[in-house]
Every structure is written in structure tokens, then in C-alpha cells.
Structure 1
Amino acid sequence: MKFGIFDHLERRRDVPIDQQYRDRLDLVSQADKSGFYCYHVAEHHHSPLCLAPNQSVFLAAVAQRTEHLRFGPLVYVLPLREPVRLIEEICMVDNLSNGRFQIGIGRGTGGGQEFAMWGGNPEENDRRFEEIFQILMKGLTNDFLSFEGQHFTLRDLWMELKPKQKPHPPFWYAGNPVHAGEFGCNFVCFGSVADMPEAASRYLASWHKQDTENDPTLPHVEKPLYGARTMVYLADTDKEAIERAKSAYAVFSLLTMKSRYHRVRFPNHDPLDPGISIPRAQQILIPLENGNA
């Protein structure tokens, strides 16, 4: 079993943004020293739910502050991305981290509503995802890239940048366990604890099927990993943790709905309870490094 951190980089209005970045990098550095396996960052736009809408930029800083921790987006919302530029970002960060980068891919929340926020047609969301995924696989593993699709046409592009990991960094897929298995990706379940056994069973059945078929255009992680997410709130007592978590989770849920449907406004709410801070969380991580937790 491996332990990791899934982060949104929620904005706190009582702390300057530049300070929040520094605090979070301190926290990630402490997680690296404490033996955590990975650190993954979500992608959301136009919401205080996420201060890292371009995860590659923030993760390049993470690469310089850590030595062992693996990290990556969870996920890149592929329909919003320009695929060739994304390939170049992936190669850069993988080399900056000496091969510790992981690639999380997804379609976005709300059935294409995130794509619609920028003027896209939600009905094109799935097809754009599929084409960009294909382009990523080709561009990361070939010296020259050509592609002919409904949304992208590329002609004999010289892919000079290469990832450190060969043939490419491992892929993660969040959401549908069957799709994750079909794509040959690692899988992370965002459902409840009760959903996990069934999701794991469906994922492994799908993964073994694609592994037998051995499609060369798919990632094919050699040892599939199954990620299960659970939320943890830290406080001095159980009662205090429950009381704070209720209010904090209510705001978090509303902001998640805003990122999906972009119709909800909460300009005066902070996604984090001011009762707990990143420096405080860092102090809690320190005993892990010393084996005292």
C-alpha cells in the first residue's frame, strides 16, 4: 500500500496567493521527506477551488523542492488542452524531476460543461478527449508526429523533446474504472468507500483484457495501481474535527458544483476553514518523517 496526497490548492482569501504557493511547496517538501509516494493536483478554472489551473507550472516548482516524491496532474482536462504544447510540458517536467512525473488524464466534470465554459460544444468533449489522448501517445513515443482527426490535423512535426521515463511517464485515469482499464492506465476512484471493491473489480477485469490484447497505441502500465481517495480533516479532538469538516465540506461541495456548472457564485466564502492552516498541516507531517506517528 502506498500513501499520497490529492490536492486542489484551494484559495484562502486571508492569505496572499504568493504566500499560499510557498506554504504549499513547504508542505509538499515535508511530504517528500516523510515518505509519501505521490502528490497529485486537480484542475479547475474560474473558482477558488483551485490555484493551479495550469498544473505543469506548479509541478515544475514541486520538482525542484522534492527528491523522491512522484507527482502529476489528476487530471489534465484534455478537451481544454492544445496537445502538442501539452506534450512539451510533460517532457520538460519529467526531465526537471529526473523521471518522477505522472500523467493524469480526464474529460472534465459535468459532461463537458468545463469545455463549454470556454465556448466549446459539450457534445464534442468526448471526441476531443479521444483525439488528444491519441496525440499524446504518438507524440511521446515517436520522433515525428502526424495525426488526422476531426479536431486536429498535424503534419510531420519533429518531436525533439523526449520524456525522461521510457517509453513515457505512467498514466492515470480518474472516473470510470472500465475506461481506465481499457486505456491501460492506473485508476483512481473518487467514489465512496463502499464503491471501492466493485470499482476495483471492474477495473482489473478491464485492465487484464487490454493487457492480453496488447494494443501498442495504449499506455500499458506494467503493474496497475488502484487509487482510492478519502478525505481527512485534522483537529485536536474528534468533535472539533467533525464540526469544522461539516462547514468546510459544505463550501467545498458548492464550489465543486460551480466548477461543473459555472452558475453558482460564492464570492465571500473561503474553501478552507481558517481554523487550520498549511503551516499547521506541515507540523503534523513532521512526526511521520521521524517515525513517531
Structure 2
Amino acid sequence: MASETADGRKVEWGIFDWVEWDQNSPAQIFEDRLSLLEYADKQDFYCYHMAEHHTTPLSVAPSPGMFLSAVAQRTSRIRLGPLVYLLPLYNPLRLIQEVCMLDHLSKGRLELGVGRGIVPYEVARFGVDPEKGRAIFDEALVVLLKGLNNETLNHEGEFYNYKDIRLWIKPFQQPHPPIWYASGNIETVPWMAKNGINTSHIFDTNAVVKKHFDLYQEIWQEHQNDPDRINTAIQAPKQGQTRHVYIAPTDAEAIEEARSAWKAWCDNINYLWNLGNSDNLKWLYDFDTLLADGKIVAGSPQTVKEKVWQAIEESGINYFISVFAWGNIPYEKVRRAMEYFVDEVMPSPK
């Protein structure tokens, strides 16, 4: 169920997750997350999105398909989406079949995010040349879409070749699950808009997101009826904004606890970059600036409601994605923050 802005614009709600390492066993981390998602499934969240990362404390769930298949069995309403599958790390033929299988296991609740990976040291560990990542992604996406849209796969390319391969499993959703691409690069907006691709931003200001949103809408209006667009079943593409969210009874308590959790999350996301002696993401450690800019949202329920709805109004988005579990926030407080969000933040402002 969507909420509404003051001028009647509909907004839906999502969840994003890295499934980070902590002092608990992976078995306990997975069980806590599955319990959290059983609760989320009963609320008005549209989709649970998860990242794909490897050999880093940023994620102990490096197989989105495997984890989401478990989520699918513990939920019945919320949609499920890798955001994103790292296409250069997969043989497209294998991924085509995994996507179809997951779409059926979830009874048509899959949202399919694709990307090439932003950490060169990560993909290089799989023998992938980071310099070729874009070209591999582009061709892999072509193959993936061919496989999802046809009963027989044929392709001749630089990286992949298939001839007359019969595919015995097709997607539950027709013609295929909705495609997502997460990007803050305005140069990708025309491609996404022409194809009705769902998208989300992270760590951009409301003003930057609004600029992208307006460009997307302008191009989408011209191409929304193109028969060859990728997301032919999508009539209103989701344009989202992702924010780390933490809610406690008071502003002071929330900010103190969020500050500690932020340090832990920054350590995790910088892990692979540090191994490569890169300062690429060191700017993320500036908690106070990010908080002041609204890129982290922490406070009491009322404060968070004001900041979230301000972001929605200023950016023009129709989809707000919250990261509830991050850094070293214990499960009980993640659950409490989500409950506050459901009860106090998601209802439309009066």
C-alpha cells in the first residue's frame, strides 16, 4: 500500500541490506534477518533488496539467489530483489536459469537488479579484468534478456557464445521480472528512462536526485510506449532514494548509537578498498556532515518522519528505500527502528 505526499503523489517503501558480518555466527545472522523479514512481510514494504559482495565483512551472504530463496519461503507478500547481481561474475546461461527458478520459488515476486560491480579489487579476485567490466556487463545483459525472453538461446559475442540451447524453465512473470539498475551517474539516465528501468540513488543530495528524476521523467514520457523497451510490463518505473535509517526514542540516543554503528559500517565497506591502498570511500567516515546533509537519517520517530518526507518532497522520488541493519546495530534495535518506521514514518503526513 502506497503512502501519499501532500499533493497526492504516491510513494512506496523498500528495504536495502548488505547482510554484514558481525560477532554472531552466520547462522544466527541469517536467522535474525529472516525473522526481521517475516515482520516486514506483514507491513507495507514493497520489496526487500540485497547487495552482492564477496570476500568482505560487508556481506556474509555472497549469493543473493540462495539467500532470497530462503526469504521467499519465510514470506508471502514482500517482493525480493538482488540489487544487484554482479553480471561479470556469472556465466549468463547459469544466471538465466537461476533467475527463472527464483521467480518461481517466490511465485512471481522477483525484482531483478543488474550491475557490474563498483569495487575493482572484488571482481579481480574472480579473474575478471576490471577494465573490461563495462563491456562484459553490457554483453551479459544482452544475453540475460535473450534468455529470459526466448525458449532457445542463441548469441555470438566477444565474451559469450551460445547456439540453439533450449531453455526448459521460463520466468514466472511475463515477459520477465522487472529490471533494476542502481546508478548515481546522470549519463545512465537516458538509457534507464528509455527502457523503463527501475533505479535508486545512494549518497546523493535531494537536489541531485531531483535533477536525475526530472530528466528521467522527461525522457520516459517520450518512450513509455516503445514496444522494444526492456521493462515492457512497467507503467510507472520506480525512482528511489536509499538512506541509512536509525530510530530511537530520542534524537540524542539515536545519534549516539548511529555514530558508533556508522564507524563499523564504514570499516566494512572500506575493507577491500583498503587492501588496494585506495582512499576512494574514506569520505564516508564524516558522519556529522552526512547526517547534516540528510544522507544518514537518525533521530526520534518524529525527527526521522520529518527528514524522510522532506527528502521525498525535495527529490520527487516515488520510492524510499531504508537500510535498517547496518554496522554493529544489534538485531533488537534494528527491529525496534523498523517498527518505529512502520508506525510513525510511513503513514502519509496530515
Structure 2 match to 1:139 = 147
Structure 1 pair 290–185 and aligned structure 2 pair: CA distance change class (3 A): closer
Aligned counterpart, 1:258: 271
Partner of 1:272: 327
Q: What SS does structure 1 have at the residue aligned with 2:177?
A: coil
> Larger deviation: 250-259 or 97-106?
250-259
Task: Give the structure 1 partner of residue 13 of structure 2.
Answer: 3
Are residues 101 and 206 of structure 1, via their aligned partners in 2, closer, same or farther at CA, if it must alter by over 3 Å?
same
| Aligned residue number for residue 87 of structure 1 | 96
Match of 2:198 in 1: 186
- Alpha-carbon distance in 2 for matches of 1:260, 1:156: 42
Task: Identify the match of residue 240 of structure 2 among 200, 208, 227.
Answer: 227
Structure 2 Cα separation of the partners of residues 24 and 69 of structure 1: 14
Q: Deviations over 1:102-130 (max 9, x none)?
A: 000112114x4432232221221111101
**Distance between the aligned counterparts of 2:107 and 2:95, measured in 1?**
18
CA displacement, residues 262-287 of structure 1 (integer Å, 9 cap, x when unaligned): 4369xxxxx622xx322343345457
Determine if the alignment matches structure 1 residue 57 to structure 2 residue 56: no
Cross-structure match for 2:3: none
Task: Out of 162-171 and 182-191, give the one that drifted further.
Answer: 182-191
1:209 to partner: Cα distance: 4.5
Gaps of 5+ in 1: 266-270
Superposition TM-score, scaled by structure 1 size? 0.88
Distance 2:194 2:86 in 1: 19
- Contact 2:248 / 2:337 at 8 angstroms: preserved in 1? no
**1:48 Cα offset (Å):** 0.9
The structural deviation recorded for 1:213 is 4.6
**Alpha-carbon distance in 2 for matches of 1:257, 1:20:** 21
1:13-32 equivalences under 5 Å are 13=23, 15-32=24-41
Query: Which has the higher mean CA deviation after the structures are superposed, 238-247 or 151-160?
Result: 238-247
State the SS of the aligned residue for 1:147: strand
Whether 2:130 is the aligned partner of 1:122: answer yes
Answer with 57-66 or 172-181: which moved more: 172-181
**Aligned 8 A contact 1:83 1:136 in 2:** yes
AA matched with 2:197: C
Structure 1 residues 182 and 46, CA gap change in structure 2 (3 angstroms): farther
| Aligned-residue offset at 1:255 | 2.5
Structure 2, unmatched stretches of 5+, are: 1-10, 279-325
Moved over 6 A (4+): 287-293
Quick one: distance in 2 between partners of 1:261 and 1:77? 21
Partner of 1:268: none
For residues 141-182 of structure 1, give each alpha carbon's deviation from its aligned partner in whole angstroms, at most 9, with x where no partner exists: 101001111000011111111111000010111013514224
Equivalent residue pairs, number: 283
Root mean square deviation, CA, Å:
2.4
Task: Summarize the Cα distance change of 1:285–1:243 in structure 2 as closer, same or farther, 3 Å threshold.
Answer: closer
Do 2:195 and 2:231's aligned partners in 1 also have CA atoms closer than 8 Å?
Answer: yes
Cα contact 2:148–2:176 (8 A) shared by 1: yes
| Whole-angstrom CA distance in 1 between matches of 2:226 and 2:219 | 11
Contact kept? 1:186, 1:226, Cα under 8 Å: yes
- Counterpart-to-counterpart distance in 2, 1:283 and 1:186: 29
Q: Conserved in 2, the CA contact under 8 Å of 1:33 and 1:289? A: no
Instruction: Give per-residue Cα distances to partners, 1:214-245, cap 9 Å, x unaligned.
Output: 435x2333321111111111333211221222
How far apart are the structure 1 equivalents of 2:141 and 2:273? Answer: 22
- Range 76-85 or range 277-286, more displaced: 277-286
Amino acid at match of 2:98: E
Paired amino acid for 1:277: P
